[in-house]
Structure 1
Amino acid sequence: MSADISETGVPHNDSRNSPLNKPLLLSAMVAALSSINYGWVIGSVNIPSQVIEKCSGGPETWSNGFPSCIPMSSTLWGLVVGLTALGAWAGSMFSGQIADRFGRKRTLMFNNVFFVAGALLTCTATSIAQLAIGRFVSGIGCGVAANLVSTYNSEVATTRTRGFLGGFQQLMILIGLFLSQIVSIGLSTAPLWRILFSISAVLAIVQTGLLFFIPESPKFLAIKDRTDESRAALQKLRANLDITLEFNELTAMLESSRESAAMPKPSAWQILTGKTEIDLRHLVFSVLFLMMSQQWSGAKGVMFYSTEILSTTFHLTEEEIKKIPTIAQLLTLGIGGIGAVAVIIGMFILDKIGRRTVLICSSLATAICSVFIVVGSKLDIGPMVATFMYFFNLVFQCGAGFIPYLSASELLPYSVLGSISGLATSINSLTLFIVSFIFPILDKALGPYLFLPFAVTNLITFLFAVFIMPEAKGKPISEVMKEYQGPIHIANNPFASRASKRSENAAETTFYRLLDHLFSIFTNYM
């Protein structure tokens, strides 16, 4: 019998001890096709942007009822691109309720209607309005995918695979973005850019068919009292393993949740103002800040507009831009590829050194890269700008790019997770819309100093990580709540051990007390 028991006393065939297996990986990959589609939608406008908005391939001509390009100003193009984020905000607002009623699988299937409709509108666009509406509709699909893929993967994951599958969504988004840019190289001329936009519909149709072959979330089925189906789904995900103890833990947890549900849940306002049994304001602020900081970093601006930025940086003439692929397009392709590699690196180091440490390094390095991009632009050194755009995407995606997606589930109790997660996703999408819209405007207004504001915003994220961000590595949520309860405050004093050895009047001790006092004044008025 000892041969069947691990050193921890857990049977080797106990599903709770299971690493990543084939059925689990395949199910996660099928669900993540929505994330790949998300990446495809946001990445497909980058390389062909000058052909579509500026008619760089030649004057506007009509063939079979379709124009070769749709000329517009940079401001209008920024709005068209940004409407995807506004659609994502709309999608994130209702996706949770629908998924809780109809299930994760069926909601993902229904969501593909938005991807198909959006693709049809954009690939057949004859006006700015139609292109904009198509981007908004596709954005709704992106918003639903952002919520549902992470939810499904977290609910089917084992304890040992939760960290890996937590970063899986961001990885698949970047793979979708990278693939869209590879295909864009051959489909950036008129009218081939229309085929590029239509591929989103193909991805959606393929996923709809594959979703029939993966199980529904066992947790969702158990919540709906479909116990036999829940057990069968869990067994399918844990092939050849004993699911008895894991299933018993799942049902016990849900029973406890039902007892808690009998008590009135706090409203979002009660949570935000600290009127709950345990004051969660610091943790809620951390989740909301992280989701906002992911978008104000400027990384999505690089994903959307790198081709235009690099075309300007390398002073490409109209004739050079017509010769596809240009150096700007090829460099953009590399930026997308390095982002996917960076997420894989981050997924492996996250559980080793902790979320906070990774974010500190990632945000500081991103701020430094932003400064060097400005220096390279000011000195008119194209290779320097391109190099630090590569480094920018690498260090951002290693940590700051996907840590925000993990924050809500690791820092907040189940009782407030739904309302705060929806608010966090909304803030994330709205920030993305603002950044996407103003990026081309900033480009014209600031010129070589375009990345200076993003150096500042990334530095703010760095300071947040140093002084405020909670560390959840290896801690249950109950411990995190106890450790970081209260209003927004200085949670991490890097000089604490040194300050404790000095007198009460030490400068650094006074400094931290002053910051704590200022935060207290601020939060008392929330």
Structure 2
Amino acid sequence: MAEHKYLLYTVGVISMATFQFGYNMAELNEPREAMTCPEANGPRASGLLPECLEMSDWQYGLATSIFAIGGLFGALAAQPIGKRYGRRRTLMLNSVCFILAAIVKALAPNVAVLTLGRLLSGLSSGSSAVVVPLYINEISPRHLRGRYGGVTQITVNFGILITQILGLFLSEPSYWRLILIVGAVVGAFQAFLLRGIPESPKYLLGTDKQAAKEALARLRATASDAAVKEELEAMMQPTGVIHTTPEEEPLTGGHHTRPRAAPVPQVSTWAFLTQRNFRKEAMIVCGLMLAQQLTGINACILHGVSILRGLMPSAAGYINVIISVANLVVTFVASATLFDRVSHKHLLIYSMSGMATCAFLLSAGIANNIAILSAVALFLFVCSFSFGLGPLPWMVSSKVVDYEAVDAAQSSALVFSWFGTFLVAFLVPIIPPVITFIGFGCIGFLSAAIVWFGVPNY
């Protein structure tokens, strides 16, 4: 791995943006009680700022869920900005937005300003979710793209874990704002480090081929000039997904990627969603992304501490950290051992069924005040998500959609993903958790049945 040290460093700098995504998404989970004025006396001033922000359940739900609205617009804007200004400059802009968002949230004098800060952090996070995987894919050697591709989900989960750990120590009226300012520190550090890494060689090929060659040579530190030139030439060849013959399908899963002789006209997002010939692919891609959210994972990430606090007030935060560790570990192990060996369709079915079963058990535990059942069910719920429904829907577009519609499929998937995130984040604080998780369980089993009968094996 010595020859890949600089590449690893570059991937690490880039993926700080998806760390920010996970951190910002979950930052209000642990400190909710400290920051929302649970006492009847209302907010008490501490220096220039109040110690807490008085808000109702629906206001807290809006402050949490507005992150998804920002994420949607950030994701939609990321692709054109990245194409025009490059991947690195887009991440620089993201870092500035993360810094601004963190300052606004940490200094918020009321819930309206806090909500504005959450919207800004959502914009940056949505953009990161698009640019980081693209950037990493474009700088990685072909034989390592699968391995480096898992970094995105791992760093998101790591960000979630860190914010939960900090919440254990800083969820006090005088300290909860420190959790929110961390995004500014990470953003400033990333902005500084981004200045020292190369732009994507594939992006530079469209503007300056010599700069592209120099960038790739830096990333392939020990490669010869001939090898760098050969890889650049491969980057210039358009590739696509081409249907195979029936005899080839057992080996390729029905699709095969190889160079095309000429560029293929790209399908628009609207055409992908509305034209009859894309109907099945659109239902699979968008349905999986919606199922990813409506089976309830963000209820745990955004509100897990609140769900458990009524059953185990002193241990809820620690259990939530353990669950976040499990989320990170299972995702890492699955990406390293399962995704290349087990059918993705079967993993999705096992994942959805496991989540649905655990959702019903969690609902029963909450209804009957059985703390240990609730904690174990929530733990297994997140583990079930991590090996299937978490990472796999992001990979489905390239597997079941033809090349000319892949970009449109990805854009459509993002819209449905952020829409589902908004619904869950907004409604969970308002609806009783027993009813909420019964609903998640029903959606989970229904989704598993639809995948079993309607999704091709890949």
TM-score between both structures, scaled by the size of structure 1: 0.79
Cα separation, partners in 2 of 1:58 and 1:43, compared to 1, 3 Å: farther
Contact 2:161 2:321 in 1 (8 A): yes
Match of 2:273 in 1: 272
- 3-state SS of paired residue (1:440): coil
CA deviation after TM superposition for structure 1 residue 182, in Å: 0.8
CA distance in 2, matches of 1:213, 1:56: 49
* 405-414 vs 142-151, greater mean Cα deviation: 405-414
Mapping 1:231-250, distance limit 5 Å: 231-241=213-223, 242-250=227-235
Pairing partner for 1:386 from 359, 364, 375: 375
Aligned residue number for residue 437 of structure 2: 451
Contact residue 84 and residue 139 of structure 1 kept, 8 A: yes
- Correspondence for 1:310: 308
1:95: how far off?
0.8
Over 3 Å counting, the alpha-carbon distance change for 1:260 and 1:227 in structure 2 is: same
| Counterpart in the other structure of 1:53 | 36
By how many angstroms is 1:128 displaced? 1.1
Of residues 397, 408, 430 in structure 2, which corresponds to 1:419? 408
Q: Look up the equivalent residue of 1:260 and give its one-letter code.
A: P
CA distance in 2, matches of 1:239, 1:412: 35
Could you tell me whether the CA contact under 8 Å between 1:378 and 1:448 is conserved in 2?
A: yes
- Indicate conservation of the 8 Å contact 1:19/1:158, yes or no: no
* Counterpart Cα distance in 1 of 2:108 and 2:221: 47
TM-score by length of 2: 0.90
For 1:460, the equivalent position in structure 2 comes to 446
In structure 1, the partner of 2:319 is 331
In the TM superposition, 1:137-286 aligns within 5 A as 137-222=120-205, 224-241=206-223, 242-253=227-238, 259-260=262-263, 263=265, 265-274=266-275, 279-286=277-284
Gaps in structure 1 of 5+ consecutive residues:
1-17, 317-325, 473-526
Tell me the distance in 2 between the aligned counterparts of 1:335 and 1:254. Answer: 40
1:404 and 2:387 are equivalent in the alignment: no
Alpha-carbon distance in structure 1 between the residues aligned to 2:129 and 2:31:
25
Which deviations, in whole Å up to 9, do the C-alpha atoms of 1:222-271 show, x marking residues without a partner? 1x14212222222222221233432222122389789426x5x4433333
- Which residue in 1 is equivalent to 2:334? 346
Q: In the superposition, relative to structure 1, how do residues 160 and 73 fare at CA in structure 2: closer, same or farther (>3 Å)? A: same
Taking the aligned partners of 2:3 and 2:114, their CA distance within structure 1 comes to: 41
Number of equivalent positions: 436
SS of 1:398 mapped into structure 2:
helix
Contact kept, 8 Å, 1:19 with 1:161, in 2: the verdict is no
Percent identity at matched positions? Answer: 26
Q: Cα RMSD (Å) of the superposition? A: 2.2
* AA partner of residue 233 (structure 2): N
User: Which residue is 1:321 aligned to?
Assistant: none
Residues 269 and 411 in structure 2, CA contact (< 8 A), matched pair in contact too: no
Question: What is the distance in 2 between the residues matched to 1:470 and 1:215?
Answer: 39
Secondary structure, aligned partner of 2:431: helix
Is 1:469 aligned to residue 455 of structure 2?
yes
Seen in structure 2, the aligned counterparts of structure 1 residues 56 and 211 have a Cα distance that, compared at 3 Å, is farther
Instruction: Give the number of the structure whose alpha-carbon radius of gyration is greater.
Output: 1
Q: 1:19 and 1:418 mapped to 2: Cα distance?
A: 34
1:351 is paired with a residue whose SS is: coil
Partner of 2:245: none
Aligned partners of 1:163 and 1:351 also within 8 Å:
no
5 Å-filtered alignment, 1:88-103, equals 88-103=71-86
Contact (CA 8 Å) 1:368, 1:455: kept in 2 or not? yes
Secondary structure at 1:451 match in 2: helix
Relative to structure 1, the CA distance from residue 67 to residue 290 in structure 2 (aligned partners, 3 Å threshold; closer, same or farther) is same
Q: 1:296 aligns with which of 294, 302, 322?
A: 294
- State how far apart, in whole Å, the 2-side matches of 1:427 and 1:309 are: 25
Corresponding residue for residue 364 of structure 1: 353
1:56, distance to aligned residue in structure 2 (A): 5.5
Mark the CA change 1:203 to 1:371 in structure 2 (over 3 Å): closer, same or farther: same
